[in-house]
Copies of this chain bind each other. A is one copy, B any other.
Amino acid sequence: MLALRCSAGQLILDPGAPLPPNSGEALVRITLAGICNTDLEILRGYMDFAGVLGHEFVGIVEYSPSGQLNGRRVVGEINANCAVCATCRAGHPTHCPHRTTLGIAGRDGAHAEYLRLPERNLHIVPDSVPDEAAVFTEPLAAALEIFDRIAIRPTDRVALLGDGKLGLLVAQVLALTGCDLLLLGHHREKLQLAAGRGIATRLLASSGDAPPPASFDVVVECTGHPGGFASARRLVRPRGTLVLKSTFHADLTLNMSQIVVDEITLIGSRCGPFSPALRLLAAGRVDVQPLIDSCFPLKQGVEAYARAAERGTLKVLLRP
């Protein structure tokens, strides 16, 4: 089959990739996939991954061990867990120490014609949700994970840093809470997408545009680059909460004493729940259509990645 591989930091279009071997897992024929910043970070060395890239997809089940999902249109949770270890049984299956993760760790991904995942990872997509929306289920679930980590209330002043594709999803789910939300970013046209949904935005064209220090109860960092942390840190009030969503292949140098002196709570947040993501997409509570930059055939995958890596690009899709 056709697949996009990461090999020693190089992106390779492989027309002769083997079909995923029969492992007793479900086989999914991919109909649409998305390129995430994490895929670009993997090519820069993040996670030391070698294999087929990609973890955002929608597809048709060609084989399901139980037979129940055959022919169904599905999306899939990306962490394949053991279900029996202490971490899984304690209710943290996405943190299973034995897990593999689709296109990220120990498991070939979705930028290919087929993938395999455990049947229990798959979720049927409601008929009312087109492929072009369903392909956002995984990042939308990641946005929703914030609420599994912290309660955000209508009384909270919340700043969201980053108007990229993840930021624009997070903005929409934060807005659902009724909190006093301000989205901060560097791209006028992206901020306008959020403003069109009634979200307050501010363009950071010069350093004087930043809000006053310590003026937010909660700050969510979605910039995807190391400099975002310092900006987020600056905006959160003493005893406030800083939510980290970005992952990147770089270390940060921090003055931890500031975290202690200001008694900041710092929360890491990663993969999230698929069911509410699908429900919100079906209900039209989150609008993902404007987040699509372009769609490339899989055989032009190298060009698609180049487009995704350009500064300011929103979601690039791949169609096998």
Instruction: Give residues in A with beta carbon < 8 Å to B.
Output: 46, 87, 92, 95, 97, 145, 149, 214, 226, 229, 237-239, 244-249, 251-257, 259-270
How far is B95's CA from A247's CA once the two chains are assembled, in angstroms? 30
Cβ contacts under 8 Å, A265 to chain B? 149, 265-268
Task: Please give 16 more A-B residue pairs, beta carbons under 8 A apart, in addition to A251-B256, A266-B268.
Answer: A87-B238, A95-B263, A97-B214, A149-B263, A244-B256, A245-B260, A248-B256, A249-B257, A251-B255, A253-B254, A256-B268, A261-B268, A261-B270, A264-B268, A265-B265, A265-B267
Cβ contacts under 8 Å, A270 to chain B? 260-261, 263
How far is B255's CA from A268's CA once the two chains are assembled, in angstroms? 12
Known interface pairs A95-B239, A237-B87; A247-B260 also in contact (CB < 8 Å)? yes
Cβ contacts under 8 Å, A246 to chain B? 256-257, 260
Q: A239 and B46: CB pair below 8 A?
A: no
Q: B263 and A269: CB pair below 8 A?
A: yes
Known interface pairs A92-B238, A239-B95, A263-B269; A253-B256 also in contact (CB < 8 Å)? no
Question: Does more than half of chain A's interface fall in helix, strand or loop, or is it mixed?
Answer: mixed
CB distance from A20 to the nearest CB of B (A): 24
Within the oligomer, what is the number of copies of this chain?
A: 2
* Partner pick for A247 among B253, B254, B257, CB 8 A cutoff: B257
Q: Name the residue on B nearest A243 (C-beta).
A: B260
Q: Name the residue on B nearest A38 (C-beta).
A: B257
* Partner pick for A92 among B239, B254, B267, CB 8 A cutoff: B239
Q: B259 and A244: CB pair below 8 A?
A: yes
How far is B266's CA from A270's CA once the two chains are assembled, in angstroms? 15
How far is B256's CA from A245's CA once the two chains are assembled, in angstroms? 10
Cβ contacts under 8 Å, A239 to chain B? 92, 95
CB distance from A263 to the nearest CB of B (A): 5
Shortest Cβ-Cβ A-B pairs, 6 listed: A95-B238, A266-B266, A259-B268, A260-B268, A247-B257, A253-B253
How far is B246's CA from A261's CA once the two chains are assembled, in angstroms? 10
Known interface pairs A214-B97, A262-B268, A268-B263; A252-B249 also in contact (CB < 8 Å)? no
Q: A260 and B269: CB pair below 8 A?
A: yes
CB distance from A215 to the nearest CB of B (A): 10
CB distance from A44 to the nearest CB of B (A): 12
How far is B256's CA from A87's CA once the two chains are assembled, in angstroms? 22
Cβ contacts under 8 Å, A267 to chain B? 263-266
Known interface pairs A87-B237, A87-B238; A257-B46 also in contact (CB < 8 Å)? yes
Q: B259 and A266: CB pair below 8 A?
A: yes
Q: A229 and B244: CB pair below 8 A?
A: no
Cβ contacts under 8 Å, A145 to chain B? 263
CB distance from A83 to the nearest CB of B (A): 16
Q: Name the residue on B nearest A269 (C-beta).
A: B263
How far is B239's CA from A145's CA once the two chains are assembled, in angstroms? 12
Q: A262 and B46: CB pair below 8 A?
A: no
Q: Name the residue on B nearest A105 (C-beta).
A: B261
